[in-house]
């Protein structure tokens, strides 16, 4: 028996020929996998059981200890931590992955100097193969483990990244710095050799050390020439990279709700489109250059009016669902469907284009009256 998360990994990280336990459904009885979006509403109807407290660390800093079910999605937890004034310093791009899989696989985030998500875990509840619930923390170990000769902190390092082999994670307690921050986001579209250069390897180092967080996206073979009806790649050295640079700031958020929705929806729909055209690429690999070029130019819209923009960490990091406005009693982002996401995005696109046309018509009418 092996425990697994949402299956986000491209590789079969946890393979078993027998039983696989899906921890994304590991939620309290009669509760939905969602957050109330109201601090202090923990334990209310249809909300996950969330507990939190403020503590002072050995370094004198103030921390928030937040205890949540392991089946909670990363995106929901990031929003909860944001509400509690302790933003996640390490975040991945996908909001739908479970915390259990994110922690147990030792996943990283986007900050060169930031800890992995597992390093932010103070304690956890692990259901052993015999059904016993074992509670581990950085300060105390459950009975029966003293013979191992490991301190509680050393034992925590073992059970944090257990890859589903030691049992099932039931609850996770994070300890996050109570230090709110926003992120100033800048985008750049540069030649591959501006980042990855055999003649100057220091280019990559200077990039990642010059910002708090850096994300690099490469859509392979996006530079090509047509030979008949077949796109022929010009070579990786001619490709363009999309580089997203994020730096901490105390400045207020500068993007309104509409901008944030558009920011997230375009990226989310692009991700959906990538999954949808997978079968096509399997059958016709030669269309990869054209698809990569399309994806790159789809994202270039950000460079025209969003540099720089200040966002909250969850808004800046995530390829978020277009159904994020769903109420807490509905299904969470863990369960959003492609059809609903695309439909929501399509309705928004129509509304935005209608508003734009009305604004343009009003402007023309004003000009005529003058």
> Which DSSP string corresponds to 36-52?
-SSTT-TT-TTS---EE
The arithmetic mean of pLDDT across residues 265-290, rounded, is 72
List of residues 6+ apart from 58 with CB closer than 8 A: none
Instruction: Annotate 186-246 with three-state secondary structure.
Output: EEEEEEHHHCCCCCCCHHHHHHHHCCCEEEEEECCCCCEEEECCEEEECCHHHCEEEEEEE
| 81 backbone dihedrals φ, ψ, rounded to 5° | -60, -40
Which pLDDT value is given to residue 132? 93
Which pLDDT value is given to residue 45? 46
Tokens of 231: 């796109």
C-alpha gyration radius of the chain: 23
| 27 backbone dihedrals φ, ψ, rounded to 5° | -130, 160
The arithmetic mean of pLDDT across residues 209-216, rounded, is 93
Q: How far is residue 19's CA from residue 347's CA, in Å, rounded to a whole number?
A: 41
Domain range summary for the chain, segments of one domain joined by +: 2-177, 182-317
Q: Which residue has the higher pLDDT, 363 or 284?
A: 284
Q: How far is residue 115's CA from residue 84's CA, in Å, rounded to a whole number?
A: 20
Confidence of residue 48 (pLDDT cuts 50, 70, 90): low
pLDDT for residue 63 is more than 70:
yes
Strands 121-127 and 224-227: unpaired
What digits encode the pLDDT tens for the residues 106-140?
887 778 888 889 999 999 999 988 889 999 999 99
Confidence of residue 286 (pLDDT cuts 50, 70, 90): confident
At residue 303, the 3 state secondary structure works out as helix
Q: How far is residue 69's CA from residue 28's CA, in Å, rounded to a whole number?
A: 8
**Alpha-carbon distances of 136 from 69, 94, 142, rounded to whole Å:** 15, 27, 6
Which pLDDT value is given to residue 50? 84
Which pLDDT value is given to residue 91? 84
Which pLDDT value is given to residue 364? 47
pLDDT for residue 41 is more than 60:
no
Q: How far is residue 103's CA from residue 101's CA, in Å, rounded to a whole number?
A: 5
The arithmetic mean of pLDDT across residues 26-45, rounded, is 51
CATH for the stretch 2-177? 3.30.465.10
Q: Which residue has the higher pLDDT, 343 or 161?
A: 161
State the pTM of this model. 0.76
Average pLDDT, the chain: 77
């Amino acid at each position: 028996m092996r425990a697994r998360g949402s299956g986000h990994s491209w590789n079969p990280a946890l393979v078993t020929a027998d039983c696989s336990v899906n921890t994304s459904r590991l939620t309290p009885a009669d509760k939905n996998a969602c957050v109330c979006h109201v601090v202090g509403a923990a334990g209310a109807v249809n909300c996950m059981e969330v507990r939190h407290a403020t503590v002072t660390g050995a370094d004198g800093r103030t921390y928030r200890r937040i205890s949540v079910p392991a089946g909670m999605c990363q995106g929901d937890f990031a929003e909860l931590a944001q509400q509690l004034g302790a933003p996640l310093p390490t975040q991945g791009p996908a909001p739908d992955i479970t915390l259990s899989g994110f922690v147990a696989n030792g996943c990283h985030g986007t900050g060169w100097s930031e800890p992995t998500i597992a390093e932010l875990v103070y304690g956890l509840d692990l259901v052993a193969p015999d059904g016993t619930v074992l509670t581990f923390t950085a300060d105390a170990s459950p009975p029966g483990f003293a013979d191992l000769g490991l301190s509680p902190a050393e034992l925590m390092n073992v059970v944090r990244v257990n890859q589903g082999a030691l049992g099932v994670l039931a609850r996770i307690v994070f300890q996050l710095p109570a230090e709110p921050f926003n992120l100033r986001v800048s985008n750049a579209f540069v030649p591959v050799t501006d980042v990855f250069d055999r003649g100057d390897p220091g280019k990559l180092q200077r990039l990642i050390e010059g910002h708090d967080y850096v994300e690099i996206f490469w859509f392979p073979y996006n530079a090509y020439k047509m030979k008949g009806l077949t796109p022929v790649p010009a070579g990786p050295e001619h490709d363009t990279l999309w580089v997203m640079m994020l730096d901490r700031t105390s400045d207020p958020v500068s993007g309104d709700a509409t901008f944030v929705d558009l920011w997230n929806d375009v990226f989310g729909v692009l991700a959906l489109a990538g999954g949808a055209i997978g079968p096509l690429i399997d059958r016709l690999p030669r269309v990869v250059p054209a698809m990569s070029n399309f994806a790159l130019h789809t994202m270039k819209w950000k460079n025209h009016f969003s540099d720089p923009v200040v966002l909250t960490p969850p808004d800046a990091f995530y390829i978020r669902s277009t159904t994020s406005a769903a109420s807490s009693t509905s299904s969470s982002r863990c369960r959003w469907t492609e059809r609903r996401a695309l439909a929501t995005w399509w309705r928004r696109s129509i509304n935005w284009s209608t508003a734009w046309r009305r604004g343009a018509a009003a402007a023309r009418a004003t000009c005529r009256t003058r």
